[in-house]
Amino acid sequence: MTRSDQLNRFDRQLWNRFIAIAQPYWYPTSGRSSATFLILLALLLMFLAAFLFVVIAIVSLSSQSIFPKIFNNIAPGLAQNITKLINSPGILVIVATLLAPSIVFFIYRGNLIPRWRPWALLSILLLLAFSVSGLNVIISYVARFFQTALAQKDQATYWRFLFVYASVFVVGTPIVVYYNYVREKLGVNWRDWLTNRFLDDYFSDRAYYDISNNSKIDNPDQRITEDIRSFTRTSLDFLLIILGSIIDLIAFTGVLWTISLPLVLVLIFYATFGTVGTILIGKRLIGINFTQLRREADFRYGLVHVRDNAESIAFYRGEDQESVAVKQRFIEVLRNFNILIGWQRNLRFFTTSYNYFVVIVPALVVAPKYFTGEIDFGAITQASFAFSQVLSALSLIVTQFESLSAFAAGVNRLGEFEDAMITNAKERPEGATTIDMTIDSHLALEHVTLETPNYQKILVKDLSLDVEPGEGLLIVGRSGAGKSSLLRAIAGLWNSGTGKLVRPKLEEMLFLPQRPYMILGTLRDQLLYPFASREISESKLREVLVKVNLADLPERVGGFDAQLDWSTVLSLGEQQRLAFARLLLTEPNYAILDEATSALDLRNEAELYEQIRTGKTTFVSVGHRTSLLAFHKKVLELDGAEGWRILSAEEYAAQES
């Protein structure tokens, strides 16, 4: 089965992924906990329905006893029905529906109390959802009464129910407004929680680095921003749509049943036909939506890439090519989008005609009853309304299929991303070995064979060496020989291969990568990076800037709290000197420098190394210049064909001269 076939389906994997992402906000995931979670949710619904009944009963009975005449005019029979229910065994069901969930929630309180906020918001939201559905039922009755009064020219009843109609809206407005507000609020809280969880996973165990090398996971940025936002929003929307549908189904099937039984049967047949038809026509949409999300993200990334590399592109005058490349990505977006709207069109042929017939079907079935005088005029409108309500409840898949398929695509993207972060994303072949890592006070490699992460190429074979404190090692070799890769292995970024690596804790080492890295932040943040919480006085910062020949920098850029786009404002050499300033402030035991002075003139380079040599720091450097020999005792030469040699600095200098 191909990957896109897998994405095309509503299946168990999709459900498991959905639960794995959605559930932890509400209930911890482990073992069979998703069954517990779903049961708790169902119990909450039952509890709220019973609770709402109690509230309505109290309000109705007390209104009836205070204003019996008005109440019986507006809601004939309501108080009697409630009293009948209270006096029947039905009351036991209601009491049980209130008690059982309370007991179960009490038993599971350990897992629920820390998550009280989402559950409280959800309870309010569900109560409001019940109220909105209840309002719809009330409106259907009130409209029926005043339309019948209209047809019968019964003025008094007409005005009375028109007034009731208006009052229902007055009560309904805040309910509907708050229903939407609480839904958004819960959506935001959930997004907040889920985004932070994904960010934590993304930054732990260097998952962001491994994912950047993982060809399956495109555009993690979009997954964390857009995909999570639409996930939380749409999940809540679906929950409420499903719940609303169930309530409507129960309430309006009752209404419909009292008007016409055949209509209920026609309805069930019609809805089943619609659902099956929609799934058959629409199932391709999930895969197409998945591709659409990816293409949109690729297109946006194309533009971000141009922004990040604006100067290089401008020097090369690469506009034409960049524009073609970006437009090509946009063409891909549109190509898939055209397929998407083609399938949406096919689906809509079906759903639109399906929806048109909703108006005709009840009229066909109910009108003869009106002509024979079996039902009143208002019942026709009420039947149509109830029919369309129940039908849309039963046709959930028909009406929601497009958004459901987009949602499924989003769930797959997030699920895949989460799997990659948790399993730590390295695409390792079966039986692949890794280099052992041991923490000690010195740096040493014992019989290390280092391979590229995908195990396609051996970079260096059976390498053993020792870098004692104060000694210093210079790694040389032609371009592509594996010098930077060896540093990556020391840092623990790469570990494909065999052998043993001994090194101090990472806190005692500082790596300066080949391309100086400038963070988004102030000059002070820049200097303190990556240990931003240290308290270092401004005079100390100035002292260090003097040492790296950047004494005038604070004045030039507007002080230590200036925020600039540092990687464009500073020259490459200035960025390298700033990186050295970090080194001087951190004073690590080992400094690992990957051509960290390549953009500097010889004098500046020598001065920087000199500054550090006076401290306690030992160097491991990669570089091509023989001038660096003065600061290192040993030289490791990689020949680019898995071989290596260790020489003293003097031997290497003699060989080069």
Ligand X SMILES: Nc1ncnc2c1ncn2[C@@H]1O[C@H](COP(=O)(O)OP(=O)(O)OP(=O)(O)O)[C@@H](O)[C@H]1O
Provide the binding-site residues for ligand X, judged by CB under 6 A: 213, 452-454, 459, 477, 479-485
State the minimum distance, in angstroms, from the CB of residue 452 to ligand X: 4
**Which residue lies nearer to ligand X by CB, 40 or 481?**
481
Q: Report CA-CA distances (Å) from 18 to 4, 34, 414, 415, 498.
A: 18, 11, 9, 7, 39
**Which residue lies nearer to ligand X by CB, 213 or 604?**
213
Q: Residue 260 has what DSSP assignment?
A: -
Q: Is the dihedral of CA 194, 200, 206, 212 positive or negative?
A: positive
State the minimum distance, in angstroms, from the CB of residue 624 to ligand X: 8
Which residues are CB-contacts of 301 (< 8 A; sequence separation ≥ 6)?
219, 221
What is d(CA 274, CA 390) in angstroms, rounded to the nearest whole number? 13
**Which residue lies nearer to ligand X by CB, 483 or 632?**
483
**Which residue lies nearer to ligand X by CB, 344 or 454?**
454
What is d(CA 511, CA 246) in angstroms, rounded to the nearest whole number? 60
**Which residue lies nearer to ligand X by CB, 425 or 481?**
481
**Which residue lies nearer to ligand X by CB, 244 or 482?**
482
**Which residue lies nearer to ligand X by CB, 505 or 624?**
624
State the minimum distance, in angstroms, from the CB of residue 480 to ligand X: 4
What is d(CA 572, CA 515) in angstroms, rounded to the nearest whole number? 9
State the minimum distance, in angstroms, from the CB of residue 488 to ligand X: 7
State the minimum distance, in angstroms, from the CB of residue 599 to ligand X: 14
Q: Is the dihedral of CA 349, 354, 358, 363 positive or negative?
A: positive
What is d(CA 15, CA 411) in angstroms, rounded to the nearest whole number? 9
Q: Residue 434 has what DSSP assignment?
A: B
**Which residue lies nearer to ligand X by CB, 87 or 479?**
479
What is d(CA 447, CA 316) in angstroms, rounded to the nearest whole number? 45
Pairing mode, if any, of strands 458-467 and 618-622?
A: unpaired
**Which residue lies nearer to ligand X by CB, 287 or 623?**
623
Identify the three-state secondary structure at position 590. strand
DSSP H or E stretch at residue 636: strand 634-638
**What's the length of the chain?**
657
**Which residue lies nearer to ligand X by CB, 403 or 454?**
454
Contact 624, 597 (CB under 8 A): no
State the minimum distance, in angstroms, from the CB of residue 282 to ligand X: 40
How many Å separate Cα 261 from the centre of its chain?
A: 47
State the minimum distance, in angstroms, from the CB of residue 576 to ligand X: 15
State the minimum distance, in angstroms, from the CB of residue 499 to ligand X: 17
State the minimum distance, in angstroms, from the CB of residue 481 to ligand X: 4
- DSSP states of 457-477: -EEEEEEEEEE-TTT-EEEEE
State the minimum distance, in angstroms, from the CB of residue 657 to ligand X: 22
**Which residue lies nearer to ligand X by CB, 282 or 453?**
453
- DSSP states of 220-243: HHHIIIIIHHHHHHHHHHHHHHHH
The residue among 487, 453, 452 whose CA lies nearest residue 636 is: 487
Q: How is residue 32 written in tokens?
A: 């069979």
Q: How is residue 34 written in tokens?
A: 């998703």
Strand order in the sheet with 436-439: 436-439, 497-503, 443-451, 458-467
